[in-house]
Protein backbone atom coordinates (compact mmCIF):
# COMPACT_ATOMS: atom_id res chain seq x y z
CA UNK A 1 0.00 0.00 0.00
CA UNK A 2 1.63 3.22 -1.20
CA UNK A 3 1.15 6.82 -0.06
CA UNK A 4 2.48 8.87 -2.98
CA UNK A 5 5.95 9.18 -4.49
CA UNK A 6 8.77 10.86 -2.57
CA UNK A 7 9.97 10.70 1.02
CA UNK A 8 8.76 14.11 2.22
CA UNK A 9 5.19 13.98 0.90
CA UNK A 10 4.61 10.35 -0.11
CA UNK A 11 6.18 6.89 -0.13
CA UNK A 12 9.90 6.52 0.56
CA UNK A 13 10.94 5.21 -2.85
CA UNK A 14 13.97 3.20 -1.70
CA UNK A 15 11.86 1.42 0.90
CA UNK A 16 9.15 0.57 -1.63
CA UNK A 17 11.74 -0.69 -4.08
CA UNK A 18 13.48 -2.79 -1.43
CA UNK A 19 10.16 -4.36 -0.41
CA UNK A 20 9.39 -5.21 -4.04
CA UNK A 21 12.83 -6.77 -4.57
CA UNK A 22 12.56 -8.93 -1.47
CA UNK A 23 8.99 -9.97 -2.29
CA UNK A 24 10.11 -10.94 -5.80
CA UNK A 25 13.01 -12.93 -4.39
CA UNK A 26 10.61 -14.64 -2.00
CA UNK A 27 8.38 -15.73 -4.88
CA UNK A 28 5.42 -13.55 -3.95
CA UNK A 29 2.87 -12.19 -6.39
CA UNK A 30 2.27 -8.50 -5.74
CA UNK A 31 -0.50 -6.00 -6.38
CA UNK A 32 -0.06 -2.36 -5.39
CA UNK A 33 -2.75 -0.06 -4.05
CA UNK A 34 -3.05 3.54 -2.87
CA UNK A 35 -5.93 5.69 -1.64
CA UNK A 36 -7.49 7.88 -4.32
CA UNK A 37 -7.25 11.12 -2.33
CA UNK A 38 -5.40 14.45 -2.57
CA UNK A 39 -1.98 14.69 -0.94
CA UNK A 40 -1.77 16.76 2.24
CA UNK A 41 0.65 19.00 0.34
CA UNK A 42 3.41 18.82 -2.24
CA UNK A 43 7.07 19.15 -1.25
CA UNK A 44 9.74 20.40 -3.63
CA UNK A 45 12.33 17.73 -2.80
CA UNK A 46 15.19 19.82 -4.20
CA UNK A 47 14.48 22.53 -1.63
CA UNK A 48 12.74 20.60 1.14
CA UNK A 49 9.94 23.14 1.11
CA UNK A 50 6.23 23.06 0.22
CA UNK A 51 5.43 23.87 -3.40
CA UNK A 52 2.84 26.59 -3.10
CA UNK A 53 -0.35 26.36 -5.18
CA UNK A 54 0.45 22.83 -6.33
CA UNK A 55 -1.69 19.76 -5.64
CA UNK A 56 -1.29 16.08 -6.46
CA UNK A 57 -3.27 12.87 -6.07
CA UNK A 58 -1.89 10.03 -3.92
CA UNK A 59 -2.99 7.27 -6.30
CA UNK A 60 -1.66 9.06 -9.38
CA UNK A 61 1.70 9.74 -7.74
CA UNK A 62 1.96 6.18 -6.38
CA UNK A 63 1.48 4.88 -9.91
CA UNK A 64 5.01 6.16 -10.66
CA UNK A 65 6.47 3.58 -8.28
CA UNK A 66 4.06 0.87 -9.43
CA UNK A 67 4.96 1.45 -13.09
CA UNK A 68 1.27 2.11 -13.66
CA UNK A 69 0.08 -1.22 -12.25
CA UNK A 70 -1.92 0.07 -9.30
CA UNK A 71 -5.51 0.27 -8.09
CA UNK A 72 -7.52 2.36 -5.66
CA UNK A 73 -7.22 1.09 -2.09
CA UNK A 74 -11.02 0.98 -1.95
CA UNK A 75 -10.84 -2.03 -4.28
CA UNK A 76 -8.55 -4.09 -2.05
CA UNK A 77 -10.32 -7.24 -0.86
CA UNK A 78 -8.56 -8.99 2.01
CA UNK A 79 -9.77 -12.43 0.93
CA UNK A 80 -7.70 -12.16 -2.25
CA UNK A 81 -4.34 -11.77 -0.47
CA UNK A 82 -2.15 -13.51 2.09
CA UNK A 83 -0.53 -10.38 3.58
CA UNK A 84 -0.29 -6.60 3.30
CA UNK A 85 2.80 -4.38 3.56
CA UNK A 86 3.10 -0.63 4.07
CA UNK A 87 6.36 1.17 3.16
CA UNK A 88 7.28 4.31 5.07
CA UNK A 89 7.87 7.87 3.99
CA UNK A 90 6.10 10.97 5.29
CA UNK A 91 3.12 10.02 3.14
CA UNK A 92 2.17 7.43 5.76
CA UNK A 93 1.96 10.24 8.31
CA UNK A 94 0.44 12.82 5.96
CA UNK A 95 -1.72 10.98 3.42
CA UNK A 96 -2.56 7.64 5.07
CA UNK A 97 -3.11 9.37 8.39
CA UNK A 98 -2.85 12.78 10.03
CA UNK A 99 -0.04 11.72 12.37
CA UNK A 100 2.37 14.36 11.03
CA UNK A 101 -0.03 17.09 12.20
CA UNK A 102 -2.01 15.55 15.05
CA UNK A 103 0.39 13.06 16.66
CA UNK A 104 -1.34 10.80 19.18
CA UNK A 105 -4.69 12.38 18.26
CA UNK A 106 -4.34 11.46 14.60
CA UNK A 107 -6.97 9.97 12.35
CA UNK A 108 -6.27 7.18 9.87
CA UNK A 109 -7.64 7.17 6.33
CA UNK A 110 -10.81 5.08 6.44
CA UNK A 111 -9.66 2.67 3.72
CA UNK A 112 -6.30 2.19 5.43
CA UNK A 113 -8.10 1.52 8.70
CA UNK A 114 -10.44 -0.93 6.99
CA UNK A 115 -7.55 -2.84 5.41
CA UNK A 116 -5.58 -3.06 8.67
CA UNK A 117 -8.60 -4.25 10.63
CA UNK A 118 -9.66 -6.73 7.95
CA UNK A 119 -6.22 -8.34 7.67
CA UNK A 120 -5.91 -8.45 11.44
CA UNK A 121 -9.35 -10.03 11.85
CA UNK A 122 -8.50 -12.61 9.18
CA UNK A 123 -5.26 -13.50 10.98
CA UNK A 124 -3.15 -12.43 8.01
CA UNK A 125 0.26 -10.78 8.51
CA UNK A 126 0.84 -7.04 8.25
CA UNK A 127 4.30 -5.63 7.48
CA UNK A 128 5.27 -2.00 8.11
CA UNK A 129 8.52 -0.07 8.06
CA UNK A 130 9.91 3.36 8.96
CA UNK A 131 7.10 5.66 10.19
CA UNK A 132 4.20 3.45 9.01
CA UNK A 133 4.08 1.35 12.23
CA UNK A 134 2.17 4.27 13.78
CA UNK A 135 -0.78 3.14 11.64
CA UNK A 136 -0.86 -0.24 13.37
CA UNK A 137 -0.35 1.36 16.79
CA UNK A 138 -3.37 3.59 16.18
CA UNK A 139 -5.71 1.03 14.64
CA UNK A 140 -4.75 -2.23 16.37
CA UNK A 141 -4.95 -1.69 20.11
CA UNK A 142 -1.93 -3.06 21.96
CA UNK A 143 0.06 -3.93 18.85
CA UNK A 144 3.81 -4.36 19.36
CA UNK A 145 5.90 -2.39 16.84
CA UNK A 146 9.32 -0.82 16.38
CA UNK A 147 10.51 2.44 14.90
CA UNK A 148 14.04 1.82 16.18
CA UNK A 149 15.44 3.65 19.22
CA UNK A 150 13.76 5.89 21.77
CA UNK A 151 16.54 8.50 22.03
CA UNK A 152 18.03 10.62 19.23
CA UNK A 153 21.60 9.67 20.14
CA UNK A 154 23.24 12.72 18.63
CA UNK A 155 21.10 12.73 15.50
CA UNK A 156 21.47 9.06 14.56
CA UNK A 157 17.77 8.55 15.33
CA UNK A 158 16.21 11.93 14.35
CA UNK A 159 12.62 10.71 14.69
CA UNK A 160 13.07 8.91 18.03
CA UNK A 161 10.17 10.86 19.52
CA UNK A 162 7.83 8.66 17.46
CA UNK A 163 8.42 5.84 19.95
CA UNK A 164 6.78 7.91 22.68
CA UNK A 165 3.85 8.73 20.43
CA UNK A 166 3.35 5.02 19.75
CA UNK A 167 3.02 4.41 23.46
CA UNK A 168 0.51 7.26 23.72
CA UNK A 169 -1.46 5.66 20.88
CA UNK A 170 -1.78 2.51 22.97
CA UNK A 171 0.91 0.49 21.23
CA UNK A 172 3.97 -1.19 22.70
CA UNK A 173 7.33 0.00 21.38
CA UNK A 174 10.25 -2.40 21.06
CA UNK A 175 13.79 -1.06 20.55
CA UNK A 176 15.50 -2.46 17.43
CA UNK A 177 18.59 -1.73 15.36
CA UNK A 178 19.21 -0.89 11.71
CA UNK A 179 22.92 -1.70 11.72
CA UNK A 180 24.68 -4.48 13.61
CA UNK A 181 28.21 -5.41 14.57
CA UNK A 182 29.69 -8.78 13.70
CA UNK A 183 30.20 -11.38 14.95
CA UNK A 184 26.82 -11.97 16.53
CA UNK A 185 25.79 -14.91 18.65
CA UNK A 186 22.08 -14.94 17.92
CA UNK A 187 19.87 -14.69 14.91
CA UNK A 188 20.61 -11.47 12.98
CA UNK A 189 17.01 -10.89 11.92
CA UNK A 190 15.92 -10.44 15.52
CA UNK A 191 17.96 -7.26 15.70
CA UNK A 192 16.41 -5.79 12.53
CA UNK A 193 12.74 -6.54 13.06
CA UNK A 194 10.08 -7.01 15.66
CA UNK A 195 7.52 -9.75 15.14
CA UNK A 196 4.32 -9.39 17.14
CA UNK A 197 3.26 -13.02 16.85
CA UNK A 198 -0.11 -12.45 18.54
CA UNK A 199 -1.21 -9.76 16.09
CA UNK A 200 0.97 -10.95 13.17
CA UNK A 201 2.47 -7.47 12.80
CA UNK A 202 6.08 -7.27 11.55
CA UNK A 203 7.98 -3.96 11.71
CA UNK A 204 11.48 -2.63 11.01
CA UNK A 205 12.96 0.89 11.50
CA UNK A 206 14.40 1.52 8.00
CA UNK A 207 15.01 5.26 7.43
CA UNK A 208 14.03 6.20 10.97
CA UNK A 209 17.79 5.85 11.40
CA UNK A 210 20.59 7.72 9.64
CA UNK A 211 22.07 4.55 8.17
CA UNK A 212 23.64 3.27 4.97
CA UNK A 213 21.24 2.16 2.25
CA UNK A 214 22.40 -1.47 2.31
CA UNK A 215 21.56 -1.67 6.02
CA UNK A 216 18.07 -0.31 5.31
CA UNK A 217 17.74 -2.86 2.51
CA UNK A 218 18.75 -5.75 4.78
CA UNK A 219 16.35 -4.74 7.55
CA UNK A 220 13.48 -4.51 5.11
CA UNK A 221 14.47 -7.92 3.77
CA UNK A 222 14.17 -9.38 7.27
CA UNK A 223 10.73 -7.79 7.64
CA UNK A 224 9.53 -9.19 4.30
CA UNK A 225 10.94 -12.63 5.08
CA UNK A 226 9.05 -12.74 8.37
CA UNK A 227 5.82 -11.55 6.76
CA UNK A 228 6.09 -14.32 4.15
CA UNK A 229 6.89 -16.86 6.86
CA UNK A 230 3.77 -15.89 8.80
CA UNK A 231 1.58 -16.59 5.75
CA UNK A 232 2.45 -20.27 6.19
CA UNK A 233 2.98 -20.69 2.45
Q: Find out whether 45 and 100 touch, Cβ atoms under 8 Å.
A: no
Q: Check 5, 130, 174, 209 and give the catalytic one.
A: 130
| Residue 130 is a catalytic residue | yes
Separation CA 201–CA 166 (nearest Å): 14
Active site residues: 130
Amino acid sequence: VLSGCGVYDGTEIHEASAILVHLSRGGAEVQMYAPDVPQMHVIDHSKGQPAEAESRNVLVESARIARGKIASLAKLTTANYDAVIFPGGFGAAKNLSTFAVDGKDCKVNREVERVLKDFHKAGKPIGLCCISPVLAAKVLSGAEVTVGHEEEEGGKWPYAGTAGAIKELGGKHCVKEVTISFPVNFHVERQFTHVDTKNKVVTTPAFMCEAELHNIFDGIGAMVKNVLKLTGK
